[in-house]
Structure 1
Amino acid sequence: MIPSLEQLQEWFTKLTSFKKNQFHPMVWINGEPVIGENVFVGAFSEINAKDALVKIGDNCDIASFVSINCADSHKKCIEYKEEIERGDIILEHNVFVGSHCVIKGGAHIGHHSVIAAGTIVDKGYIPPYSLVFGNPMKVKYEYYK
């Protein structure tokens, strides 16, 4: 007997920390992010909203292998700080995030912006209609206006 997709999802959820979600069985969602309408999240992506606000607006497209992660534990790991640092993350409406991007805590991405594949997005405000690319990130303001 071949198991149904629902059975596979149920088994996968029991065997991992991946909660069942509306996107794909291999999308890991931690915490309670606020996710708008008509949002796509590709396989092998992570949305970590544990102990922070992570808000993704309507009509966003998040490709595969993307990390949207509010937490930064490197200072705790090297015993520089006692706590994991966390920062809110906001993606306004109609944001595209390319494959293999990392969006770090404290990032606020304006509506109708594009984050190019492989970009590391640091904390700070990115205005609407921007093109963001690279590591370190570079921003072309109003590129899509």
Structure 2
Amino acid sequence: MSLTEQIKNNPKLKAFVHWLLIPSGEARPRLWVKWFVNPFLHKRGKGSKVRYRSRMDVLPFNRFELGNQSVIESFCTINNGVGDVIIGDGSLIGMSNVIIGPVTVGNNVIFAQNIVASALNHGYQDVTVPISKQKVVTSQIIIEDDCWIAANSVITAGVTVGKHSVVGGGSVVTKDVPPYSVVAGNPARVIKRYNFDSKQWERA
């Protein structure tokens, strides 16, 4: 049995290792993890940038990858505590975004400002237990290549945004977005699709 499996199968040991990595009641890693562990485990592509004022709550037990020439702008929060965060090549994560894994962002994707993409939901079903103490549930978010997510949008758990699609500003995306579509609203719905025969964007 590997060391990782031994830790996972021993609740007390798992809790101790978790405490070593993260202060109690917090989501961000301890400084020693940030300085001496993460740089050797997480992949940063050539020319990629993470602005100084971003909050990188990335931990060694899940993946974090930032592709070539990709940028995470100031005041973002990136959290891989409950799932991998993978960002492809040439993508821009604009100011004040929140990304909570598991989230995969493709190549040449634009996230504008103040976007939340959270693949995490809190359990609430047991009314005898505070919601904050119930298990979290995750469902993968996928943003495919060449998408533009406009400002103030929310991408909910389990959603896939198809290739070369646009999410209009202020939208709440609760269902998959087909490739080559424009969606808008709360909940977001398809308002345009690209017609490859006419080579035009047409209203849905």
- TM-score scaled by structure 1? 0.76
Q: Distance in 2 between matches of 1:24 and 1:136?
A: 27
Residues 115-136 of structure 1: per-residue CA shift (max 9 Å, x gap):
00000011x3321111110002
Computed over aligned residues only, the root mean square deviation of the Cα atoms, in angstroms, reads 2.7
Q: Distance in 2 between matches of 1:141 and 1:89?
A: 22
1:127 aligns with 2:178: yes
Query: Identity percentage over the alignment?
Result: 25
1:25 aligns with 2:77: no
- TM-score scaled by structure 2? 0.56
1:140 aligns with 2:191: yes
Where structure 1 has 5 or more consecutive residues not aligned to the other structure, the ranges are 1-7
Residues 50-107 of structure 1: per-residue CA shift (max 9 Å, x gap):
xx3x110000000010001101226369659842221100010000000000001100
- Say which is worse superposed, 36-45 or 67-76, in terms of deviation: 67-76
Match of 1:65 among 109, 114, 123: 114
* Equivalent residue, structure 1, for 2:104: 55
Aligned residues: 128
Give the alignment of 1:107-118 within 5 angstroms.
107-118=159-170
Give the alignment of 1:96-111 within 5 angstroms.
96-111=148-163
Cα distance change on mapping 1:36 and 1:74 into 2, 3 Å? same
Structure (1 or 2) with the greater helix fraction:
2
Q: Which has the higher contact order (CA 8 A, sep 6+)?
A: 1
Cα distance change on mapping 1:134 and 1:73 into 2, 3 Å? same
